[in-house]
Structure 1
Amino acid sequence: MQTTAPTVQFDDRIMRLIGIPLVGFLMPLLFFGTTLEKGLVAYLPMWISSTAHTLVYWEGSRLVYLQTRRWFPAVSQTTQRLLWLTGLSLLFAMLFSMVVCYGLNDLLKLAFPGFIHHKPGLLEEYKATLIPLVICLAVYECIYYFRQLRAALLEAEQLKQANLQSQLETLKNQVNPHFLFNSLNTLTALIPEDPELSVRFVQKLAKVYRYILEIRELQTVSLADELSALRAYNFLMQIRFGDRLTIQLDLPDDCLMARVVPLSLQMLVENAVKHNVISTHKPLFIQVFIENNRLIVRNNLQRKSQTSVDELEESTGVGLQNIRSRYQLLAGQRVDVIVTTQQFAVSLPLLAATEQPAIAQ
């Protein structure tokens, strides 16, 4: 729960500067039977009195509105917030009518003797307080929801663009001459030696591409689906690199229904393979595990080129930045990159499980 007081999310100073005197001008005419027959000068004391009352209940209702938003800031808490807002507003209107208003009336009567003759009853004053208070709160709520809707539409559009960019980037990275060349070279060498294993290689290669096509419309996938695709990709890499590459998956079953960004694991494994030396004397070891409710992909660091640590993170390119952007848009959560002289790790947040169809295995 947020600890700092929220703002109304827009500059309401002009609205208050104009609205309070305007409501103060109209209140006596609408509720207390006052007229303008004697002119504006004769009406001025009543206007000042009404404006003073309006100032109190306007600012009071504004504080009630802000406080309830502070207690219940999430969209999922809207019902609770509105119930509290209604209850506190009614209580404030009652207290204002019974205590503050009458004290203020007496002070104004002393300040303008002979001008203010009408002292409303409790029910009349309660009605005169409650109706403008409800209008005031309705204005703030409408503006707040309008801005929330506009922000949600903008965020949805940004997510859509990021998703499209991710699809194009993923397809470009996967269906590229290097990936196909390496896979086909491996398959060509494998067919004479082990035809049965060659068939499995083709099946796993097809599964990788099928997964890419199946997730192109999804914003998130289950960790179980992502791991299934990663295992197929791992099979291809094991045939290509053998004992020089090890990908260790250490994930408990109770985390498999959590959601992740599609192809995030495969992109991170690809980055590790792309940017590190893989040889008999320098095998690459990649770990995928859960720590503090986050998904970690970590590898030993043995860079192909003599780049700096900062350049290494930058060299991971569009893929990692795209993962970061999508997590930020989807859940407002960060993707951490931890680089040391010996290891490179990426920490992904696990998103809450949602009702989305699983991908066919």
Structure 2
Amino acid sequence: MQPLNDKWMRILGVPLLALVGQWAMYGYTNVPYPDDWRIPFFFVLGSVVVWEINRWGIIFSRRRYPEQTQTWQRVLYQFSWFVVFASFIRITQTWFYQQIGLWHSTELFEFKPYFFNTLVSVVGTVQIAAVYEGIYLYQRWRMTYEEAEELKKVNLQSQLDSLKTQINPHFLFNNLNSLSSLITTDAQQAELFLDELSSVYRYLLRQDERSLCPLAEEIRFIKSYFYLLKTRFGDGVFMEIAVDEHAMLCLIPPLTLQLLFENAIRHNIISADRPLTIRVYTEQKMLYVENNRQLRTATAASNQAGLQDSMTKYKLLDQPSVSVYQDEFRFRVGVPLLPPPAEVTVSKSEHNR
């Protein structure tokens, strides 16, 4: 949440508005404006105290109901706060006026001064708060608009990257070369390889318009994708999958696993003597892709290349950040698992109760 940038409002705006409000109150009640300096002084002082306390109500309401869709809850929270605290402070202040003799009255609780003193304070606070709320709504709208535009750019770039992957001549050439070798040596395995290659391209072609997909689909895809890698690299590469069954319904951006697998393949030595092992596992609503670290010298400085796109997507989806960890022996990327639609619906309904 952005901090309230209202220094001058607190220093000058509230005191000036308090003086204007007090003048209006005396004019409305047909009482001559007092010559006693203590009355405007204490009224301004009380207004500053009222606003500072009510300002906390604005801050708390924004923390509790920050979204544009929660505007009514936020406004009702603020209004209730204003009425309670402004009334308490002004009633206490009016009683204090009488105790120090700022006016003479035979009744201890004369309704009119208590009522109008409180009314002016609440109305003034609501008017100022309305300006604050308007600025806040505009800022939230602008932020949402900018994030939506940024997400469009990221999605377009992701689609472009996906298209590049689909028509990547190296990727296609390597797989066709592997297929050609299998046709002459093992026709049955060549048929299986062709099926997996078709599955990979079919999946790639389906991702143009989706921002999220079930983890189960990504796991099925990565198994087909890894089959191609295994056929190419043989005992130079291994994969381990340990994903909880209940996590399969969770959502992640499509092609996330492919991106992370490509990152591992591109930047590490792969050989039968030094095999690369890629592990996929889940822990505490996170999906981790981890590999043993044996960097190629030419790419050692760019081991995190290609991860920025995934990080940006999660940021724009307002989700926890992608985590990256590396040490001398391993490289690990953790991506948050987003709840499936059913869980989102349930959590929203529970939140609204």
TM normalised by structure 2 equals 0.81
Per the alignment, residue 88 of structure 1 pairs with 81
User: Unpaired segments of 5 or more residues in structure 1?
Assistant: 1-5, 111-117, 357-361
Mapped contact 1:53–1:104 kept (Cα < 8 A): no
- 1:264 counterpart (256, 259, 265): 256
Per the alignment, residue 342 of structure 1 pairs with 329
Q: Look up the equivalent residue of 1:284 and give its one-letter code.
A: L
Indicate the SS of the match to 1:256: helix
State the distance in 2 between where 1:10 and 1:66 align: 8
Q: Look up the equivalent residue of 1:324 and give its one-letter code.
A: M
Q: Deviations over 1:268-319 (max 9, x none)?
A: 11122222222222222211011233211111223333765xx2xx2442x2
Question: Which moves more between the two structures, 131-140 or 18-27?
Answer: 18-27
Identity %: 33
Per the alignment, residue 107 of structure 2 pairs with none
Q: Deviations over 1:161-192 (max 9, x none)?
A: 12222222233244212101101101111223
Indicate the SS of the match to 2:93: helix
- 1:99 counterpart (92, 99, 124): 92
Between the two structures, name the one with larger relative contact order (CA 8 Å, sep ≥ 6): 1
- 2:286 counterpart (280, 294, 297): 294
State the distance in 2 between where 1:159 and 1:87 align: 37
Q: Look up the equivalent residue of 1:109 and give its one-letter code.
A: L
Mapped contact 2:239–2:278 kept (Cα < 8 A): yes
Per the alignment, residue 129 of structure 2 pairs with 137
Per the alignment, residue 234 of structure 1 pairs with 226
State the distance in 2 between where 1:190 and 1:94 align: 84
Mapped contact 1:205–1:236 kept (Cα < 8 A): yes
Q: Deviations over 1:135-168 (max 9, x none)?
A: 1222222222221221122222222212222222
Mapped contact 1:333–1:349 kept (Cα < 8 A): yes
Per the alignment, residue 167 of structure 1 pairs with 159
1:43 CA displacement: 11
Per the alignment, residue 32 of structure 1 pairs with 26
TM normalised by structure 1 equals 0.80
1:25 CA displacement: 3.8
2:50 matched to 1:66?
no
State the distance in 2 between where 1:354 and 1:334 align: 20
Indicate the SS of the match to 1:144: helix
